[in-house]
C-alpha cells in the first residue's frame, strides 16, 4: 500500500521515544548526518527554537522542491531521474530561469530534471535531502577509518589512476584522471554493471545527458583499464568489511525483515491508522538494502573486472 515517506530530517532523533528509523540504517551513511538540514535552519534562522508544525512543513517543502533561485511554479513539480533526464536548466543574469528540452519529448512522456547534476551529490545525498533512493544510475559513496586518513591528503585519490604519461585516456578537457570523490565510490548503472572509483569525466553526464547500456559498458571498460588494481583491492576489502559487520544480510533484509515490516504496516493501516514511525522504519530498511546491494556490486566488480596492474602486482 501507499506510504507517506518523509525526508530523514523529519524522522525522530535517536534520543526520542519510538525512534527506529535511524537505528535501521545500521550505521550506513547518512547516519549522524540525517538532521543536518533542520539543525542548520533551526540554529541559523530560528534562534535555535524548535520549529512549529507549519514551519517544518514549509521548510521541508523548500528543501525538497526549491531551485537554486527559490520556489519556481511548475519547475518545482518536476521529478528527478539521471537516467531518463530530458531537460536542461538555463538561467540568466536577471534571475530568470528556463527549462529547455534536451531531447525530443513525446506526448505524455514524463519531464525529468535532476537533483544531483554531474555527480556532485551522491545517492546518499539525494536520499538524505529528498527521502528517496533514486533509480539507476546510482552513485554510492562511503568511507572507513583508513580512507578518512587518506582523504586528508588532497592528492591521494589521483593516484588511483594510470597517469596520462603512461596511458592516453585523458579526455579533451583533461578530466580523465580527476577523481569524482576522495572517498570510496561506486557508480551503479544496473544490477550487473558498475564502475569503481569513477572519475569526473565518467560521471559528468549524470543530469546532463544519457548513455545506453552498451555505451556505458564501453566507457566503464575503458575507465577500469586505467584504475590501479591496488586501489580496487582496498575498495573491495572495505565494502566486504561493511557487509560482514552489518547485523543483517541482504537476503535477510529482502526476504524476511522488509516483508514483515510491510505486513505489519498494512495490518495497522487496515484498522484506519497510519503508523508514521513504522513507515519511516520501512523507508530506512529499503535504503540500507539498496546500499548493501551497491556494496555487493563493488565486491563482485572488484573480483571480476579488468584493471591496471602495477609492475609489482604482476
**Per-residue pLDDT, 151:** 80
**Per-residue pLDDT, 311:** 65
CA atoms of 267 and 260, how far apart (whole Å): 11
**Per-residue pLDDT, 171:** 45
Please report the DSSP string for 183-244 in residue order.
SEEEEEEETTEEEES-BHHHHTTTTT----HHHHHHHHHHHHTTBBHHHHHHHHHHHHHHHH
CA atoms of 60 and 90, how far apart (whole Å): 25
Q: Is 256 helix (H, G, I), strand (E, B) or coil?
A: helix
CA atoms of 132 and 237, how far apart (whole Å): 28
Contact between 18 and 277 under an 8 Å Cβ cutoff? The reply is yes
**Per-residue pLDDT, 28:** 97
Residue 193 phi/psi, 5-degree rounding, is -140, 125
CA atoms of 210 and 97, how far apart (whole Å): 23
Contact between 196 and 235 under an 8 Å Cβ cutoff? The reply is yes
**Per-residue pLDDT, 116:** 83
Of residues 284, 99, 126, the one with CA closest to residue 206:
126
Of residues 225, 205, 207, 227, the one with CA closest to residue 216:
205
Contact between 205 and 258 under an 8 Å Cβ cutoff? The reply is no
**Per-residue pLDDT, 124:** 97
CA atoms of 228 and 14, how far apart (whole Å): 40
Contact between 4 and 279 under an 8 Å Cβ cutoff? The reply is yes
CA atoms of 119 and 268, how far apart (whole Å): 40
For each successive 10 residues of the chain (314 residues), what is the average pLDDT? 80 88 96 93 91 92 83 83 88 85 92 87 95 95 89 85 58 64 96 96 90 96 94 97 98 98 94 92 98 98 93 59
- Whole-model pTM above 0.95? no
**Per-residue pLDDT, 176:** 58
Q: Which three cell numbers stand for residue 153?
A: 591528503
Q: Which three cell numbers stand for residue 211?
A: 548513455
Q: Cell 507517506, residue?
A: 4
Give how far Cα 222 sits from Cα of 130, 136, 177, Å: 33, 20, 12
CA atoms of 44 and 42, how far apart (whole Å): 6
**Per-residue pLDDT, 292:** 98
Please report the DSSP string for 42-88 in residue order.
HHHHSTTPPPPHHHHHHHHHHHHH-BTTB--TTGGGPEE-TTT--EE
Amino acid at each position: 500500500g501507499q506510504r507517506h515517506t518523509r525526508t530523514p530530517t523529519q524522522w525522530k532523533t535517536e534520543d526520542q521515544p519510538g525512534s527506529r528509523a535511524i537505528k535501521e540504517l545500521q550505521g550506513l551513511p547518512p547516519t549522524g548526518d540525517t538532521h543536518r538540514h533542520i539543525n542548520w535552519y533551526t540554529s541559523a534562522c530560528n534562534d535555535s527554537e524548535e520549529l512549529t508544525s507549519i514551519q517544518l512543513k514549509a521548510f521541508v517543502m523548500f528543501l525538497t522542491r526549491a531551485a537554486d533561485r527559490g520556489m519556481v511554479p511548475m519547475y518545482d513539480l518536476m521529478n528527478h531521474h539521471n537516467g531518463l533526464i530530458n531537460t536542461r536548466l538555463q538561467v540568466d543574469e536577471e534571475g530568470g530561469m528556463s527549462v529547455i528540452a534536451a531531447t525530443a519529448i513525446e506526448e505524455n512522456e514524463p519531464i525529468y530534471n535532476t537533483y544531483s547534476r554531474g555527480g556532485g551529490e551522491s545517492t546518499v545525498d539525494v536520499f538524505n535531502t529528498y527521502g528517496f533512493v533514486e533509480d539507476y544510475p546510482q552513485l554510492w559513496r562511503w568511507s572507513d577509518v583508513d580512507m578518512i586518513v587518506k582523504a586528508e591528503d588532497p592528492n591521494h585519490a589521483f593516484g588511483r589512476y594510470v597517469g596520462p604519461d603512461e596511458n592516453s585516456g585523458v579526455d579533451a578537457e583533461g578530466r580523465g584522471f580527476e577523481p569524482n570523490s576522495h572517498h570510496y565510490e561506486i557508480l551503479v548503472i544496473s544490477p550487473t554493471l558498475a564502475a569503481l572509483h569513477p572519475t569526473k569525466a565518467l560521471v559528468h553526464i549524470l543530469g546532463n545527458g544519457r548513455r545506453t547500456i552498451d555505451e556505458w559498458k564501453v566507457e566503464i571498460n575503458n575507465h577500469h583499464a586505467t584504475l590501479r588494481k591496488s586501489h580496487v583491492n582496498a575498495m573491495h576489502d572495505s565494502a566486504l568489511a561493511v557487509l560482514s559487520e552489518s547485523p543483517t544480510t541482504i537476503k535477510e533484509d529482502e526476504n524476511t525483515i522488509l516483508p514483515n515490516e510491510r505486513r505489519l504496516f498494512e495490518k495497522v493501516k487496515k484498522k484506519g491508522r497510519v503508523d508514521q514511525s513504522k513507515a519511516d522504519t520501512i523507508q530506512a530498511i529499503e535504503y540500507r538494502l539498496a546500499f548493501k546491494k551497491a556494496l555487493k556490486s563493488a565486491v563482485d566488480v572488484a573480483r571480476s573486472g579488468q584493471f591496471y596492474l602495477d609492475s609489482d602486482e604482476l
